[in-house]
Amino acid sequence: MNHLRKSLIFAVILFLGFASSAPAETNGLRLLNASMSGYTDVVKQLIDAGADVNITNAEGQTPLLFASQEGRTETVELLLQSGAKVNHVADNSAIALFMASQNNYVDVVKLLLDAGAEVDKTVKNNSNSLIVASQRGHDKVVKLLLGSGAEVNKINNDGATSLFMAAQDGHLKAVRLLLKAEADTNIARHDGYTPLLFASQEGYTKIVKRLLDAGTAVNRGNNAGITPLMFASQGGYRDIVKLLLESGADANAKVVQNGKTYTPLSLARMYEDSALIELLIQGGAKE
């Protein structure tokens, strides 16, 4: 241990108080703070002095939860070796694996999984760790979770899957991993949005291609009846329009909103994109 680190640890111990002579409850509270900050040497001294490794604060949060959400790998390892409960649920439904996955702490995720973390344990909105890792585009975490048997088609309270979350935010690598794990491309959110609809709306060409190659339903619309081709036409995404038409998208699909009828062609005309208009006409769109 270098001199600077020794000095830091000594200062922390002085600040916290002498662990061995303090009441167990006091040491437990110190353990929470030291774990969050990643002071592994202090954590060890507190545990050796009898601090409860599974102590909770008023919100039900444990040292392991704090260390996991902050990415304190060495501290997490020590806490697990000392008997920390890996699947403890805080009052707000937070769990160590979910927090580490959300924040992209790959090494912490691996430690937790190796220690028996339940890979599909969910938080309040029924999201598992795979859903949040996919949403954030943390592909290394996604790969770890899938390798540990995470349910690829798990849906949250909105009806969204991991694939939907990855496609929604344009995370191509995560999409590829999920498709390789046989994610269902046609599971729709409660509002009818599918991964293809969102990718078409946002202009994620490579994701659209991956979804189409995986056999997603090209003409499935949302609850309002808007199809992927309509979204792509409205956004002026020519490459996506071309991909959708080549995959059998209905160039004459219609939706009525506020008494007006819209088609891919009418939506394209709003933006006077002559190349896009010509592409739709060549794809069978009628005036």
Interhelix angle 238-246/228-235, rounded to 10 degrees, is 150
Q: Which residues are CB-contacts of 147 (< 8 A; sequence separation ≥ 6)?
A: none
Q: Where are the domains of the chain?
A: 1-118, 195-287
Q: What is the pLDDT of residue 7?
A: 46
Q: What's the rounded mean pLDDT across residues 230-255?
A: 97
What burial letters (b/e) apply to 55-93, b meaning 16+ CB within 10 Å?
bbbeeebbbbbbbbbbbbbbbbbbbbebebbbebbbeee
Which pLDDT tens digit goes with each residue over 98-128? 999 999 999 999 999 999 999 999 998 999 9
Residue 28 — pLDDT band, cuts 50, 70, 90?
Answer: confident
Q: What is the pLDDT of residue 10?
A: 42
For the chain, give the percent of residues with pLDDT over 90.
86
Q: Letter for the amino acid at 115?
A: A
One-character DSSP codes across 43-60: HHHHHHTT--TT---TT-
Tell me the C-alpha distance between 238 and 249, whole Å. Answer: 14
Neighbours of 118 (CB within 10 A): 15
Q: Which two tokens stand for residue 57?
A: 């604060």
CATH of 195-287, one of 1.10.150.120, 1.25.40.20, 3.40.190.10, 3.10.20.90: 1.25.40.20
Asked whether the domain spanning 195-287 has the same topology as the one spanning 1-118, the reply is: yes
Q: Give domain 1-118's CATH superfamily.
A: Ankyrin repeat-containing domain (1.25.40.20)
Tell me the C-alpha distance between 167 and 161, whole Å. Answer: 10
Which pLDDT tens digit goes with each residue over 49-69? 999 999 999 999 999 999 999
Tell me the C-alpha distance between 135 and 164, whole Å. Answer: 8
